Structure 1
Amino acid sequence: MLTAAALVLCGALATGAEAQATGDLGLVVERASGSLLVVDQSERARIGRIGGLGDLSHASLVYSPDQRFAYVFGRDGGLTKVDILEQRIVGRVMQAGNSIGGAISDDGRYVAVSNYEPGGVRVFDAETLDPVADIPTGGKTIGLVDIPGTRFVFSLWDAGETWIADLSDVPPQITRITGMGANPYDALVTGDGRTYIAGLFGADHLTALDLWQARPEPRAILPGYAEGRAGLPVYKMPHLEGWALAGTEFVLPAMGQHEVLWVDARSLEETGRTQTHGQPVFAMARPDGRQVWVNFAHPRNDTIQVIDTLTKQVIHQFKPGPGVLHMEFTPRGHEVWLSVRDAGRVMVYDTETFEKLREIEAESPSGIFFTARAHKTGL
């Protein structure tokens, strides 16, 4: 007589031809139509579309640990769970009036959403989307990331504080860190969960926290980096989660300047500057850290520059098309995918030769998210 386990195995073998792995897949946000394009990295092709996700004008998403489910954070306050294998919505809640991003806990149990309206952070069960915790802050929250220990970190635009929410038990335990600076607008955390850096709107420095300390203390980094220079109009805020850790250095877009700033990841001291084509939005390191790819704010958003991390010099510049919004490297960095919104295309390039390999039609594409993100802290 076959055991239950043997029956399951036989069934899996019988349907093996229909099985599909998730590791080669990704999602592209189509902001104009409220949809997601399902793409296959190896085939460099779109393989489906998931619609009905509401306002995706500033959308981001995270993946479940098994890479099958994506949790999409819409600007309209919608939290949507999608099955990328079945290419359908499996759950959706309107959890706020205006949300700005989210994160998933390291154990995959909880999804947290950062809100502008009514503010605060709301936490949901990743399986059911049932509410788990409501963390009011009295104002806008930004820079929400996950760190080890079933914890989330986020900053408060109005209060200039950073909070650490420990969800290892419910209700969550909150640690408040004051003195971060005025109007933090975005933040990042390193892959080891140790260093959290918040950008400050209108200030020419940033603030860092060492999260390995029992009581993290704010530290100003790059103080006065724009001293003596007039700030340019900021057409698009730099996105900190795209800021690069290239080897042992951070590469950070300068607010209101045409340059990126290099900072030693351990000492947090400045190590150099690179003049750029325009105001950087994303400065993203190839996974091996050998290159940094930079895109730019309007009106110079048709251009990409590639910087060599040894020389800190621009080694390649090209124009994929109007409105280059986002970049995503394949997990080992042999290719990079670019969303070119105003051309209605996702473009795929070889990162060694810079040859364009493929164009994929998309409806006003913005964020590109490969499933490898499921295994990275802070993404």
Structure 2
Amino acid sequence: MNRIVSFPRYLQALATVMLITAMAPAGGDDTRALYQTHCASCHGENRLGGTGPALLPSNLSRLKPEAAEAVIRDGRPASQMPGFEAELEDAEIASLAGWIYREPEVEPVWTKEEILASQVVRHPAGSLPNVPRFDADPLNLFIVVETGDHHATLLDGDSFEPIHRFETRYALHGGPKYTPDGRHVFFGSRDGWITKYDIYNMEVVAEVRAGINMRNIAVSGDGRYVMAANYLPHSLVLFDAHNLDLMKVYPAVGKGGESSRVSAVYAAPPRGSFIAALKDIEEVWEIPWPLPTEPVVSTGHMATPIAPTRSHDTPNFQVRRIPVPDYLDDFFFDLDYEHVIGASRGGESDGQGGMVINLDSGEKVADLPLEGMPHLGSGITWEYEGRRVMATPHLTRAAVSIIDMTDWTVIKTLETDGPGFFMRSHANSPYVWADVFFGPNRDRVHVIDKASLEIVETLIPEPGKTAAHVEFDRYGEKLLLSLWEDDGAVIVYDAETLEEEKRIPMSKPSGKYNVWNKTRYEEGTSH
């Protein structure tokens, strides 16, 4: 089995000591015990984050203490945060809420020096054979992330036979990202690790820890750069993709000196830049990479590969600040990355709407009446009656909203069997698949006809088990659906007949990522 590169023991010991010293101050053994019993498994023993976010004052600026009590008591909609009303007394809830707003005795840091010390290169770029060690179409492979036991499976997209299964870091988040040729894939973990994996040779080639609590990573359209978005510390971190050499650390600080978590970072290949969503500052950041001398970007909606173009003058790797009227935690882009469609999960709109920002002018061009926390990061587009439309599920509302991208009006709201998380389609498919991830009907998945904008089929692959996250093969002929359980499976469907063809047992297969769709930005795949 191909295991993750080991962090050198002396550095691991040093990092462990540093993180342990960041524990919350003494001030109530009972409260400390409550935290360890009910919170530490998700948020970390030292409040530095795990599968859940870090719980430190610097990360709670948008959550008032009374609201924190409500979250502990009632849970948080559209998240894995449960309510503890049945387990905890009111006084215990209040004590825990106060605990997470206390400053740690030692502020947890992860500086340039720690990043550099964490880097491990097992196989320098260019040192491994340039020919796949398997007989399969390299562009029709899937990476399946199995969060149940922290593994990933390399899957043949033609035969749907597993090629290799390998161990990953703990709690991968944000989806793996491929280089344009499909040879390398990068994984990001909640605890800050970036892993570069050579698909051809089925080997981990390099790793580096970008932060303590990381949201996601993005890879530039030419495959030369990787950027990480951190909740803790508040930063963006830029790496050379070849060996994950550190290039630059960007503190996420507003013009007034206010510090911010980074919600996410995205690659915008047609623009030749990274786009960052800031959690605590009403700004969007654009950071361009050097333009190539030859066309390298190929996308599913473009007839021929083209080089990115820019309509702004920001120098390479310099931040261009775009002020916005509200916090934008979640993004969707139009096909040319001229507009960003964003939504807040706690600003003025409080998850009850969205807005459209022109990335060239920085102007807001439309408001979107999208109640119920739209999950724009899972949005998709297709052609409908001669115009481009986009569709998004909602995290707290049983609906799918369909929007005309010409005038940004909502042309249809489809009522579903519950709030959803993911949507997928393909240019060659007449259907959109939307799950019902949250609520009692999470074992269902809706099939929506692109022409009629109606739900034409509701499938229940396994009664009582969560059905989620569809991904098509490169041709749009087959698709994979997850049974999102520890004893789950990936189910193969015929994309035209909707008939089940095969089940592949897996351990909570949270996401499946097709090389062609993700590197060509295929229509119907969230970007």
Check whether the contact 1:349–1:357 (CA below 8 A) recurs between aligned residues: yes
Q: Does 1:218 align with 2:364?
A: yes
5+ residue gaps, structure 1:
1-10, 232-236
Query: Of residues 317, 320, 325 in structure 2, which corresponds to 1:172?
Result: 317
Check whether the contact 1:143–1:188 (CA below 8 A) recurs between aligned residues: no
SS of the aligned residue for 2:377 comes to helix
Query: Of residues 132, 136, 144 in structure 1, which corresponds to 2:251?
Result: 136
Check whether the contact 2:375–2:395 (CA below 8 A) recurs between aligned residues: no
Query: Of residues 412, 419, 433 in structure 2, which corresponds to 1:279?
Result: 419
Query: Of residues 458, 461, 482 in structure 2, which corresponds to 1:320?
Result: 461
After superposition, where does 1:1-379 map in structure 2 within 5 Å?
A: 21-51=137-167, 53-137=168-252, 138-147=259-268, 148-168=270-290, 172-182=317-327, 184-201=328-345, 202-211=350-359, 213=360, 215-223=361-369, 225-226=370-371, 239-247=375-383, 248-288=388-428, 290-299=430-439, 300-321=441-462, 322-342=465-485, 343-372=487-516, 373-376=518-521, 379=527
Check whether the contact 2:214–2:232 (CA below 8 A) recurs between aligned residues: yes
Residue of structure 2 equivalent to 1:3 = none
Change (3 A) 1:21 1:356: closer
Change (3 A) 1:100 1:315: same
| Offset at residue 291 of structure 1 (A) | 1.8
Cα separation, 2, equivalents of 1:17 and 1:120: 38
Check whether the contact 2:470–2:481 (CA below 8 A) recurs between aligned residues: yes
CA RMSD of aligned residues (A): 2.4
Cα separation, 2, equivalents of 1:338 and 1:69: 24
| Offset at residue 153 of structure 1 (A) | 0.5
What residue identity is the alignment partner of 1:297? Answer: F
5+ residue gaps, structure 2:
1-128, 253-258, 292-314
Moved over 4 A (4+): 15-21
Check whether the contact 1:243–1:252 (CA below 8 A) recurs between aligned residues: yes
Cα separation, 2, equivalents of 1:315 and 1:19: 38
SS of the aligned residue for 1:278 comes to coil
Cα separation, 1, equivalents of 2:502 and 2:132: 30
- Higher alpha-carbon deviation: 84-93 or 20-29: 20-29
Cα separation, 1, equivalents of 2:408 and 2:382: 14
- Higher alpha-carbon deviation: 286-295 or 273-282: 286-295
Cα separation, 2, equivalents of 1:20 and 1:288: 22
Query: When you count strand as a share of all residues, which structure comes out higher?
Result: 1
Change (3 A) 1:36 1:308: same
SS of the aligned residue for 1:241 comes to helix
What residue identity is the alignment partner of 2:513? Answer: F
Check whether the contact 2:392–2:423 (CA below 8 A) recurs between aligned residues: yes
Cα separation, 2, equivalents of 1:189 and 1:263: 13
Per the normalisation by structure 2, the TM-score is 0.63
| Offset at residue 50 of structure 1 (A) | 1.7
Query: When you count helix as a share of all residues, which structure comes out higher?
Result: 2
| Offset at residue 101 of structure 1 (A) | 1.4
| Offset at residue 320 of structure 1 (A) | 1.9
Structure showing greater relative contact order (alpha-carbon pairs closer than 8 Å, 6 or more residues apart): 1
| Offset at residue 309 of structure 1 (A) | 1.9
The Cα offsets for residues 100-136 of structure 1, whole Å up to 9 and x where unpaired, read as 2121111211011111111221111111100112122
| Offset at residue 256 of structure 1 (A) | 2.0
Change (3 A) 1:102 1:240: farther
